[in-house]
Amino acid sequence: MSTYTRRKFLRDAAVAGAAVSAISTPLKVLAAEKRSTVRIGMIGVGLRGQSHLDEFLKRADVEIVAMADPDKNMMAMAQKIVAQYKKKSPVEYTNGNYDYKNLVMRNDIDAVLIASPWEWHIEQALAAVNAGKKAGVEVCGAIKLQDCWDIVQAVEKTKAPVMMMENVCYRRDVMAVMNMVQQGLFGDLLHLQGGYEHDLREVLFNNGTDGGPGVGFGDHGFSEAKWRTNHYVNRNGELYPTHGLGPVACMIDVNRGNRLTALSSISTKPKGLHRFVVNNPLGGPNHPNAKVMFKEGDIVTTQIQTANGETIVLTHDTSSPRPYNLGFRVQGTNGLWIDNHAGGFDEGMIYFEDKSPKKHTWENTKAYMEQYDHPLWKKFSKDAEGAGHGGMDFFVDNAFIECLKRDADFPLDVYDLATWYAITPLSEKSISEGGTLQQIPDFTAGKWQNRKAVFGRSDEY
Amino acid sequence: MSTYTRRKFLRDAAVAGAAVSAISTPLKVLAAEKRSTVRIGMIGVGLRGQSHLDEFLKRADVEIVAMADPDKNMMAMAQKIVAQYKKKSPVEYTNGNYDYKNLVMRNDIDAVLIASPWEWHIEQALAAVNAGKKAGVEVCGAIKLQDCWDIVQAVEKTKAPVMMMENVCYRRDVMAVMNMVQQGLFGDLLHLQGGYEHDLREVLFNNGTDGGPGVGFGDHGFSEAKWRTNHYVNRNGELYPTHGLGPVACMIDVNRGNRLTALSSISTKPKGLHRFVVNNPLGGPNHPNAKVMFKEGDIVTTQIQTANGETIVLTHDTSSPRPYNLGFRVQGTNGLWIDNHAGGFDEGMIYFEDKSPKKHTWENTKAYMEQYDHPLWKKFSKDAEGAGHGGMDFFVDNAFIECLKRDADFPLDVYDLATWYAITPLSEKSISEGGTLQQIPDFTAGKWQNRKAVFGRSDEY
């Protein structure tokens, strides 16, 4: 594909120019490619899986061998995307919820990409690694804490690694800030915030057929409304921690010289989803869903402590009308960054004691974001054009594939997945106990003290 | 004084125009004045006390009878201010730390205003109310939880009321937002944030003589550096909760239909104050204060739950370089406000589902702040000109005096003081136990369920 060709050219150019490179972040020497093509099985080809599929199909180094999904409509949409790229039709596994077990047993796939409903992630990842397949797993929180231990132990036993597919770690402004962190602009990091502050009401409810307006969910919902909304009926916790936590965890080297030690969570009353159903012209006070008791508090706050003395505050805020914001704040002894909207270079405030021209006065972020644009973004921004979520999806998929080609360590691995996923059941337990303190397990069993950071340190992914 | 005359005129005009008033907030019928002049004793006439003194001296309805402070330099500065107003010189109590006990025994004062170092507030307030004097008490957090019980019980026993002198409750944008809350713009309130995010390093350290540059504190410090910095050496907690908590507590009717139930606090490592001493040209790594171990974490986060299901997050962040911000966020089922700086009408972001023109898109706050400017500010903005902290100090002092004249209930009373002050020792306990959950006492002993809100409801204060 032309994208891949251009990327190859850029890579060669970068290697040739390495001696005079302006790249300022220390980058690792690359592992050699062990294979030129990676054979992938997709588990879950709903809208999110289709987005990964699209990224993979653009590449000459990926072959989509098989796809599993019990939803035949989604499977048909996925096959249509494959056809648009004029690639070979992958083998389908659509025979119920457990047909993925047959997919992972195939001998002609190297890895699976899991983008199914939350409640299936760990079960399917376990099946994959137990079948010796590497796995990329989409974001969410664990259903129960034991899931996190199970996937860690399975990876340690089988040596089939798992990548945590957290795309927001690759958001352009986030990576620029990480670059600033590594170059010491913030001084010693002290306090970080992140969250998922995104009005999801029109995702959680729809008409059940094509995602158009409506107040249906579950059997009467389309796409995420089919399964995500039920988590709001049955659970109260930080349901979606990784977009907020992942980026800041990378900045303070969690599981690589640092670790999360404890959390406590609190939640507001649940008001927003009921209000949405009742006030919706397609719902109303007499609609059956107006009788549903939602358990998930509208805003869930989680405060987290770390071994190295930083603190983190996470916010889950998806049931209320509000502009999108992941609410990042990165603060150190020399200054701080606050993210006010959706990642645009000029959508934040920043201040550094030794750089900002006017004492006690915010600067706009734009000039800093441009100056500290991460080397990976400088190199691949053209390739990322058109990829999902402002381009960041290109990077997370690229990292997955490039690591598979090299048998290299994933930059975000099973310990990250377990630690980040664990926030959800621990937050649920904390809230159910009135806000009690919960210890966060060390899934690395002490290895965090010597593990080295990988994320954002490679020249290639 | 001309200020008072103008105010009197405005008041008369307002009464005359009541029938056609544009005031949209429901306001209470005024109690009649019981006395035209209030006789005040000042306890603590350091810089903060002098600011109150200046406000009182502007008024024809206040007589400053006596002033207590062991610091003779501060006393001289205070007398100089009195002289500038050509008022009678108040009797001085400067004979050591306990001379205030003689002041409160005078028969010719109605009330005291306490603006001493934090560790003296409750002891002095107890002495005042036990001597039958009403008391206005400056902001801070309690030294120990029992202090909060002691002052509540003393007020209940003596019937001498105490006012919590929280000026930020009267900040113009805060009162405008409170007006919006009362008019239902936010829907049901869900989540609130506030804090004290103010780089205090040049307040905590100085040259010890006039507040000029330096790294001295304690015996080598001037004004607040004399005593405030020692709290950072010996304590780790939410040391200064009320500027952030007070305003949001008023919005959700804490102690008046609602109450704070539990909190947990976490803190970052302490880095900033040591760094300040070491990096300061007047300090350096060999300065004696470079050996001081500061205990107070640079950023302390506290999450609070309420009886009515709202959540509150407080941030104490005073040891790091950063622009000033009290970090307010007020969020309900219909929208939210975020305060980005220091209270300017245009320094925030706001969004309402049923008002904002563009879905999922912030608006600047300016037009809303102007439209919902609180009736008290509309009425008294000219009087507030030149008063401390952007005018808000006029309002808190005005409320104190007007209530004293009427024997009316203070809008922020001893239960508010106890509840807000209690955050500090509870947060210290939480942090010392690794972040455990702490129950917040109900200082009203159940009366919160029937008490009515007063703050911001009067036409006069």
Backbone angles phi, psi at A146, to 5 degrees: -60, -30
Q: Averaged over A150-176, what is the pLDDT?
A: 98
CB contact (8 A) between residue A199 and residue B360: yes
Least CB–CB distance from B313: residue in A301, A308, A360: A301
Least CB–CB distance from B333: residue in A320, A334, A361: A320
Interface of A with B in 132-161 (CB under 8 A): none
Chain B residues with CB-CB distance to A269 below 8 A: 188, 190, 308-310
CB contact (8 A) between residue B323 and residue A275: no
The CA distances from residue A219 to A215, A230, A233, A280, in Å, are: 12, 10, 14, 19
Least CB–CB distance from A320: residue in B269, B331, B361: B331
Instruction: Give the gap in angstroms from C-alpha A264 to the nearest C-alpha of chain B.
Output: 8
Instruction: Give the gap in angstroms from C-alpha A270 to the nearest C-alpha of chain B.
Output: 9
Interface of A with B in 179-238 (CB under 8 A): 187-188, 190-191, 199
Give the span between the Cα atoms of A152 and A416, in whole angstroms.
Answer: 10
Evaluate whether A35-160 and A170-375+413-449 have a shared fold. Answer: no
Average pLDDT along chain B, 461 residues, taken 10 residues at a time: 38 36 46 92 98 97 98 98 98 98 98 98 98 98 98 98 98 97 98 98 97 97 97 98 98 98 98 98 98 98 98 98 97 97 93 97 97 96 89 96 96 98 98 98 98 89 90
Chain A residues with CB-CB distance to B188 below 8 A: 269, 271
Chain B residue with Cα closest to A363: B323
CB contact (8 A) between residue B271 and residue A320: no
For residue A214, pLDDT beyond 70? yes
Taking alpha carbons only, the member of B46, B108, B149, B298 closest to residue A192 is B298
Higher pLDDT, A374 or A28: A374
For residue A395, pLDDT beyond 50? yes
Residue A136: half-sphere exposure toward Cβ, Cα within 13 Å: 29
Q: Where in chain B are the domains?
A: 35-160, 170-375+413-449
The CA distances from residue B445 to B134, B258, B306, B449, in Å, are: 22, 12, 16, 10
The per-residue pLDDT for range B249-279, each reduced to its tens digit, is: 999 999 999 999 999 999 999 999 999 999 9
Chain B residue with Cα closest to A261: B434
CB contact (8 A) between residue A301 and residue B191: yes
Instruction: Give the gap in angstroms from C-alpha B97 to the nearest C-alpha of chain A.
Output: 36
Chain A residue with Cα closest to B348: A340
Report H helices in A106-185.
121-130, 145-158, 172-182
Architecture of domain A170-375+413-449: 2-Layer Sandwich (3.30)
Chain B residues with CB-CB distance to A298 below 8 A: 190-191, 333
CB contact (8 A) between residue A334 and residue B321: yes
Predicted complex ipTM: 0.93
Q: Averaged over A12-21, what is the pLDDT?
A: 36
Chain B residues with CB-CB distance to A303 below 8 A: 264, 266, 301, 303, 435
The CA distances from residue B331 to A91, A245, A341, B328, B344, in Å, are: 49, 22, 16, 10, 19
**Burial of A148 by CB count in 10 Å (0-12 exposed, 13-18 middle, 19+ buried)?**
buried
Least CB–CB distance from B269: residue in A304, A309, A334: A309
CB contact (8 A) between residue A264 and residue B437: yes
CB contact (8 A) between residue B267 and residue A190: no
**Burial of B452 by CB count in 10 Å (0-12 exposed, 13-18 middle, 19+ buried)?**
exposed
Higher pLDDT, A341 or A288: A288
Instruction: Give the gap in angstroms from C-alpha A276 to the nearest C-alpha of chain B.
Output: 10
Interface check B269 vs A, CB under 8 A? yes
Interface check A98 vs B, CB under 8 A? no
Higher pLDDT, A185 or B461: A185
Interface check A272 vs B, CB under 8 A? yes
Q: Which CATH class is domain B35-160?
A: alpha beta
**Residue B7 pLDDT:** 40
Strand partners, B90: none
Least CB–CB distance from A331: residue in B190, B299, B303: B299
Chain B residues with CB-CB distance to A262 below 8 A: 434-435
Q: Dig out the tokens for A447 from the structure.
A: 């290895």
Give the span between the Cα atoms of A301 and B190, in whole angstroms.
Answer: 12
The per-residue pLDDT for range B203-212, each reduced to its tens digit, is: 999 999 999 9
- In this structure, how many other beta carbons lie within 10 angstroms of the beta carbon of residue A399? 26
- In this structure, how many other beta carbons lie within 10 angstroms of the beta carbon of residue B144? 14
Strands (E), B272-317: 299-306, 311-317
For residue A98, pLDDT beyond 90? yes
**Burial of A381 by CB count in 10 Å (0-12 exposed, 13-18 middle, 19+ buried)?**
middle
Interface of A with B in 295-334 (CB under 8 A): 297-299, 301, 303-305, 308-311, 313, 317, 320-324, 331-334
CB contact (8 A) between residue B269 and residue A191: no
